[in-house]
Structure 1
Amino acid sequence: MPSKSPAQTLAEKADKKANSSAGWFSSSSTKFEEAGDLYQQAANAYKLEKQFREAGDAFAREAECREKCKETNEAANAWWNAAKAYKQGHPDLAIQALTQTITHYTHAGRFRQAADREKEIGQLYQNELGDLGKACESYERAAEWYSQEDAGSTANACYKDAADLHADLENYPQAIQRYEQVANHSLASPLTKYSVREYWLRASLCALAMRDTVTAKRNIAKYSSQDVTFTSTRECKFINVLIEAMESENQEAFTAAVVEYDQVTRLDNWKTAILLKVKRGIQETDGGIL
């Protein structure tokens, strides 16, 4: 029979302690404190052995012990440690553990930390599980908490991530709303004002993806009234050329504008994808691509 690893030995010791009956002179609280300490040691030993699922399970058991003896800060920390272990290949379990962490943080009024963990959930949904809808919800919830805690630029970054995902999901009106919200916030500061034209470009591309040149033109006029320098930017000129190409159903002019813009300012994957959608909206005759 193979010998038990140090981690397994500690985990069994922890189980035994957690399931034992409290003695005459010790309270059940003491029992769970001791079991929690043993589960923590077992979890760290599992991490050394690179057994991350088992490490996560041990941290989760530690968290449950901490909860039983009302050590809420320690419980929150144990759930977070569980999440970090589960992230090594078990994103669904990591999300469950992070959700438990957030519950403790919000009850304690620690909304900044809750926002950090909610953002992590968004990243797991987006990058590991490919659930863009759930990722969007998490980014927006995190952004609201960051805003409440006066962390405006961090909130903005989350709202922008949510806007990108809304657009990926073709929820264009919601995407436009979020981009404009981020732009309005960025306009207020000289440090972030430079980024506004990027958000307005993205919002305008969403309007074009809806095949709504009327809204696109109206929004361009609105943005130009908010910042008079916008009309002279490459972004604004680019959108105007695209609107013209769409209205005249001129695929060649559309493609030429995209190529010219890309030569000076490289198009990222998000813009490339949405421009392909916009182009498909123009009545295609040659079946070409960008």
Structure 2
Amino acid sequence: MPKSPAELLLEKADKKASSSTGWFSSSSTKWEDAGDLYQQAANSFRVEKQFKAAGDAFSREAECRENSKENNDAANAWWNAAKAYKKDDPLTAIQALGCTISHLTKLGRFRQAADREKDIAVIYEQQLHDIAKAAESYTRAAEWYEQEEAAATASACRKSAADLCAQVEDYRGAIQLYDMVANYALKSNLTKYSVKDYWLRSGLCALAMRDVGKAQRDIEVFKSKDITFSSTRECKFLEDICACVTEGDENAFTAAAFEYDQVTKLDEWKASILMKIKRTLKDEVDIL
């Protein structure tokens, strides 16, 4: 069976990379030429929809760029490798993204490093379903976005991290992140409307860790930060749920959740954490 154009280019690249340096060429030139050939092979593999082979070729290109001290090109090659691997080999895609980030941070390109860290978070969350690691990557990306004065994007990453922390029952971590997101949202009239949802989520996290006292104290803090919060459905619902948990009243709890859902549909995250809270109603809770 004849070799494909991509395979022929790959052979040519391998031969160039393993060749010795002649009198009239430098080692740097050898690696530059080999890198160009690996890039051509990788793109040809992509045309043939051989994504694993494309990722491998881009990785070899990246190594050539590193050998010739072309750090910008190395970062781009690792990113191209990650995009090729992502479809069929997400773990290797994460490794390639890590190499990309290493080059970007050395070059001081933290905004792009944050973008790639966010890519890692999405792979962990959506493909590998490793919620804890996804939360870590979203948080790291947020820190870099904040350094680059991309505050809105940083806040969105922290919101994603907070939701994921709650899923793995790291409620304290989630509350801390929701507090940061809410404080950012309070700074602008354009985002202030979303604060009530962040505070509701934070309060539900406190109840999920069976700390009714904290939830109740936090409600008063929220009211002091935004005088309109006390009149929202989110505030009333949170106060009602606190009362139900304090009294251990499962029927009232179910009724409060149903009533809230009739007007404001409970999303999957809230429905899940409410079920966790409901299961604690027969247990002793902290009301101090």
Name the counterpart of 1:186: 185
Query: 1:242 deviation in Å?
Result: 0.6
Name the counterpart of 2:99: 100
CA distance in 2, matches of 1:242, 1:88: 43
Task: Give the root-mean-square deviation of aligned CA atoms.
Answer: 0.8
Query: 1:165 deviation in Å?
Result: 1.1
Name the counterpart of 1:236: 235
Amino acid corresponding to residue 33 of structure 1 in structure 2: E
Name the counterpart of 2:255: 256
CA distance in 1, matches of 2:172, 2:98: 29
Name the counterpart of 2:286: none
Structure 1, residues 226-257: CA drift from partner, whole Å, max 9, x if none?
A: 00100000000000111111111111111111
Amino acid corresponding to residue 187 of structure 2 in structure 1: A
1:108-187 superposed matches below 5 A:
108-187=107-186
Alignment of 1:75 with 2:74, yes or no, is yes
Query: 1:137 deviation in Å?
Result: 1.1
Report the identity percentage: 63
Name the counterpart of 1:221: 220
Structure 1, residues 182-239: CA drift from partner, whole Å, max 9, x if none?
A: 1011101111111111100000000110111110000000000000100000000000
Structure 1 residue matching 2:228: 3-state secondary structure:
helix
Amino acid corresponding to residue 38 of structure 2 in structure 1: Y
Scaled by the length of structure 2, the TM-score of the pair is 0.97
Structure 1, residues 92-136: CA drift from partner, whole Å, max 9, x if none?
A: 010000000001110010000000000000111111111112111
Amino acid corresponding to residue 136 of structure 1 in structure 2: A
Name the counterpart of 2:12: 13
Q: Any stretches of 5+ residues in structure 1 without a counterpart? A: 285-290
Name the counterpart of 1:25: 24
Amino acid corresponding to residue 135 of structure 2 in structure 1: C
Structure 2 residue matching 1:165: 3-state secondary structure:
helix
Amino acid corresponding to residue 55 of structure 1 in structure 2: A
Q: How many residues align?
A: 283
Query: 1:78 deviation in Å?
Result: 0.5
CA distance in 1, matches of 2:176, 2:197: 14
Query: 1:89 deviation in Å?
Result: 1.2
Scaled by the length of structure 1, the TM-score of the pair is 0.96
Runs ≥4 residues deviating over 4 A:
none
CA distance in 2, matches of 1:11, 1:88: 21
Amino acid corresponding to residue 39 of structure 1 in structure 2: Y
CA distance in 2, matches of 1:153, 1:184: 12
1:42-57 superposed matches below 5 A:
42-57=41-56
Name the counterpart of 1:247: 246
CA distance in 2, matches of 1:107, 1:190: 37
CA distance in 2, matches of 1:36, 1:173: 48
Query: 1:31 deviation in Å?
Result: 0.7
CA distance in 1, matches of 2:249, 2:20: 80
Q: Any stretches of 5+ residues in structure 2 without a counterpart? A: 284-288
